[in-house]
Structure 1
Amino acid sequence: MRILVTGHLGYIGVELTPVLRRLGHDVVGLDTDYFASGDFLAPPDDVPNLAMDMRDVTPEHLAGFDAVVHLAALSNDPLSDLNASLTYDINHAASVRLAEAAKAAGVSRFVFSSSCSLYGKAGDDELDEGAAFNPVTPYGESKVRVEQALSELADDDFSPVYLRNATAYGLSRRLRADVVVNNLVAHAVTTGKVMLQSDGTPWRPLVHVLDIAAAFAAALSAPRDAIHDRAFNVGRVGENYQIRDVAHLIAELAPECVVTYAEGAMPDIRDYRVDFTRIERELPGYEPQWTVRSGIEQLLAAYRDGGMTADGFTGPNYFRLRTITGLLDRGDLDPQLRWSRDRADTSSLELQPS
């Protein structure tokens, strides 16, 4: 299968790409590469890359592809809050245009990286895919809108599927430290403190980045009837945690560390639990391998072996908002988050090395 992966140089994308290649797929990337400074331990795989902005994709660019895996987005709530209108422009409008271009080009399968954040704030019940949407951020709202638009495009020739990722964690070569488990473990390794920014009571569904990659691979190979115009919460049954319990688990695995709370720590408005029964039962080939405990163990070893320092952790490289803000301040990006310095010729269809 010839697959275009948007956002292939991001936190998930750099780990998904080799999974797909090992399965024998012909993979091409598309990424503006905002986060090249975030390499940790090793660089991403070198794959052919359409070096262009997702907002500029036309059907011509997508001719010959069997599937599109759409990961690219302004990738978390603080970053989307930087400019809500840009979040809707990139995460919503451009995503819908990409899907329309894929359909026009004859691409038969469109795997959309959605998010459990579209459930927003909920009670203690575990939410399945039929639960009401209640997003509390522009990022979550953008995911709702794209799912709804893709459903309207679905027909006999175009099969979208919506993978609602839980909050990701785990080692990636394009590391993020602005996701909760990665962040807490980095605090522990670099300061000896597991620092909670909230009061620790909110619930989060959590999933390892490699289990996310496995879900996308399974969605690409599954029979059409199993995935057509369907949503799947991506995670593992039993992997919902209150944040304070994650913190105490880190302290258990790194007993030299203590759990602390930031001054003025308050409850987080994002508070929900998710049911992962459907994906484990109904997505052929999906078998999650990771738990939060094993992911913490992986991160502890990687941060220590990789020499993660307090300066490295608190710097801009592993935080999406800080990276984008730095690029804006230096003039490398214009206010629309387009590169303002010389880049590859994005009007060409010629593939560029990553």
Structure 2
Amino acid sequence: MRILVTGHKGYIGVIVVPMLQAEGHEVVGLDSDLYEECTFGDGIHEISEIKKDIRDVELSDLEGFDAVFHLAGLSNDPLGDLNPTLTYEINHLASVHIAKLAKEAGITRFLFSSSCSTYGVAGEKMVKEDADFNPVTPYGFSKVLVEQEVAKLADTNFSPTFLRNATAYGLSPRLRFDLVLNNLVAWAFTTGRVHIKSDGTPWRPIVHIEDISRAFIAILNAPRDIVHNQAFNVGVTEENYQIRDLAKIVEDIVPGCHIDFAEDAGPDKRCYRVDFSKLMQTLPAFKPKWNARLGAEQLYTAYKRIGLTLEDFEGPRYKRIAHIKKLLGNGRLDETLRWRNAKRAETKTEMEINYAL
């Protein structure tokens, strides 16, 4: 297959691309590469690419492909909160626009990288794909809206699938430190403290980015009729943890560290436990290989090899929100988060946020 991967230079994209190539697929990337100065460790595997903001994608960009892996977007809650209007424009409207163009271009398979954050406030109960949406952030709302609108595009020729990823972790050349396990190991290694910013009680399902990539590939390879217009929680049911349990794993792995709570630590309303049995039962080809302990060991080894410092992971090099603010401050990005001097779409309209579900 000839596959377009949007966000191919992001945290997950740089992992899934070589895995797709190993499967024999021809892969082209599409990315504005906001984090071109943020590569961690080894370099990024280069492929043919379209350097473009996803808001500016045109029909011609999508012609000739068999499938789209849509990963691109503002990647976390702090970025979403920076400017909720831009989250609405980039994560929601641009994603739906790309899906419509993909359908018009005759692309038959569209895999959307959604999130378990769509469940938001679910508490102690285990949630399956038929659970009510209850997002609490612009990021979570944007994922819900894309799923709802792209699902309406499905027909005999256009087949979308929605992958609701658990909280990701794991090593990547475009490493993110805003993710809970990556962050806890970084604090432990650089300061000797496993620094917890909540009271440690919220539940989170976590999944390694290589296993997310395996899920995408398993869905791509699956018979169309069993994944058509379906949502799948992506992760492993046994990998639901309270934050304090993840901290204990990190404390066991990183020598000489201890668990430390922030002074203003309190409960986090984002709390959800997720059932992943549908993915396992529907797609036996999906074989996850990671768990939290193995992931923490992988991260600790990488941080030692690179010589990670507190300034690195809390500063603008690797912290997404800090890097974006730096690019805005030095004028390299405009207020819409586009590169200055980059080609922009000629037709723009004013948009109003409406996150009422």
TM-score after normalising by structure 1: 0.96
Instruction: Please list the CA deviations of residues 113-162 of structure 1 after superposition, one character each: whole Å capped at 9, or x if unmatched.
Output: 00000000112111000000000001000000000011100000000000
Which residue number corresponds to residue 351 of structure 1? Answer: none
In the alignment, is residue 254 of structure 1 matched against residue 254 of structure 2? yes
Which residue number corresponds to residue 282 of structure 1? Answer: 282
Whichever residue aligns with residue 280 of structure 2, its letter is: E
Determine the C-alpha separation between the residues in 2 that align with 1:91 and 1:141. 10
Whichever residue aligns with residue 24 of structure 1, its letter is: G
Q: Which stretch has the larger CA shift, 155-164 or 331-340? A: 331-340
* CA 346–42 in structure 1, closer or farther in 2 if over 3 Å, else same: farther
Determine the C-alpha separation between the residues in 2 that align with 1:284 and 1:106. 29
Whichever residue aligns with residue 161 of structure 1, its letter is: T
Which residue number corresponds to residue 114 of structure 2? Answer: 114
Determine the C-alpha separation between the residues in 1 that align with 2:296 and 2:62. 39
Determine the C-alpha separation between the residues in 2 that align with 1:322 and 1:287. 36
Whichever residue aligns with residue 65 of structure 1, its letter is: F
Deviation at 1:52, TM superposition (A): 1.1
Determine the C-alpha separation between the residues in 1 that align with 2:267 and 2:15. 32
Which residue number corresponds to residue 196 of structure 2? Answer: 196
Which residue number corresponds to residue 183 of structure 2? Answer: 183
Instruction: Please list the CA deviations of residues 180-237 of structure 1 after superposition, one character each: whole Å capped at 9, or x if unmatched.
Output: 1000000011001100011111000100010001111111111101210000000012
Which residue number corresponds to residue 94 of structure 1? Answer: 94
SS of the equivalent of 2:197 reads strand
Contact in 2 for aligned 1:38/1:176 (Cα 8 Å): no
Determine the C-alpha separation between the residues in 2 that align with 1:300 and 1:44. 21
Structure 2 residue runs of 5 or longer lacking an equivalent are: 346-357
Which residue number corresponds to residue 224 of structure 2? Answer: 224
SS of the equivalent of 1:43 reads coil
Contact in 2 for aligned 1:51/1:346 (Cα 8 Å): no
Instruction: Please list the CA deviations of residues 319-346 of structure 1 after superposition, one character each: whole Å capped at 9, or x if unmatched.
Output: 11111111111111111111114x5x67
Determine the C-alpha separation between the residues in 2 that align with 1:76 and 1:29. 21
Which residue number corresponds to residue 296 of structure 1? Answer: 296
Which residue number corresponds to residue 125 of structure 1? Answer: 125
Contact in 2 for aligned 1:222/1:284 (Cα 8 Å): no
Instruction: Please list the CA deviations of residues 28-49 of structure 1 after superposition, one character each: whole Å capped at 9, or x if unmatched.
Output: 0000000112211111101000
Which residue number corresponds to residue 141 of structure 2? Answer: 141
Question: How is 1:201-350 mapped onto 2 (pairs within 5 angstroms)?
Answer: 201-341=201-341, 343=342
Q: Percent of pairs identical after alignment?
A: 56
SS of the equivalent of 1:157 reads coil
Deviation at 1:284, TM superposition (A): 4.3
TM-score after normalising by structure 2: 0.95
Determine the C-alpha separation between the residues in 2 that align with 1:314 and 1:11. 17
Deviation at 1:255, TM superposition (A): 3.6
* CA 310–320 in structure 1, closer or farther in 2 if over 3 Å, else same: same
Whichever residue aligns with residue 120 of structure 2, its letter is: G
Contact in 1 for aligned 2:185/2:254 (Cα 8 Å): no
Deviation at 1:317, TM superposition (A): 1.6
Q: Which stretch has the larger CA shift, 175-184 or 284-293? A: 284-293
SS of the equivalent of 1:264 reads coil
* CA 346–66 in structure 1, closer or farther in 2 if over 3 Å, else same: farther
Which residue number corresponds to residue 65 of structure 1? Answer: 65
Contact in 1 for aligned 2:129/2:232 (Cα 8 Å): yes
In the alignment, is residue 168 of structure 1 matched against residue 137 of structure 2? no
Deviation at 1:110, TM superposition (A): 0.2
SS of the equivalent of 2:68 reads strand
Contact in 1 for aligned 2:7/2:73 (Cα 8 Å): yes
SS of the equivalent of 2:152 reads helix
Length, aligned pairs only: 345
Contact in 2 for aligned 1:227/1:283 (Cα 8 Å): no
SS of the equivalent of 2:204 reads strand
SS of the equivalent of 1:263 reads coil
Whichever residue aligns with residue 294 of structure 1, its letter is: L
Larger RCO: 1 or 2 (CA < 8 Å, sep 6+): 1
In the alignment, is residue 29 of structure 1 matched against residue 29 of structure 2? yes
Q: Which stretch has the larger CA shift, 93-102 or 307-316? A: 307-316
SS of the equivalent of 2:37 reads helix
Q: Which stretch has the larger CA shift, 69-78 or 307-316? A: 307-316
4+ residue segments displaced more than 6 Å: none
RMSD of equivalent CA atoms = 1.1
Determine the C-alpha separation between the residues in 2 that align with 1:314 and 1:157. 46
SS of the equivalent of 1:340 reads coil
Contact in 2 for aligned 1:43/1:174 (Cα 8 Å): no
Instruction: Please list the CA deviations of residues 7-65 of structure 1 after superposition, one character each: whole Å capped at 9, or x if unmatched.
Output: 00000000010000000000000000001122111111010001111111122211110
Deviation at 1:283, TM superposition (A): 2.1
Determine the C-alpha separation between the residues in 1 that align with 2:112 and 2:284. 17
Contact in 1 for aligned 2:62/2:105 (Cα 8 Å): yes
Whichever residue aligns with residue 140 of structure 1, its letter is: G
Structure 1 residue runs of 5 or longer lacking an equivalent are: 348-354
SS of the equivalent of 1:185 reads helix
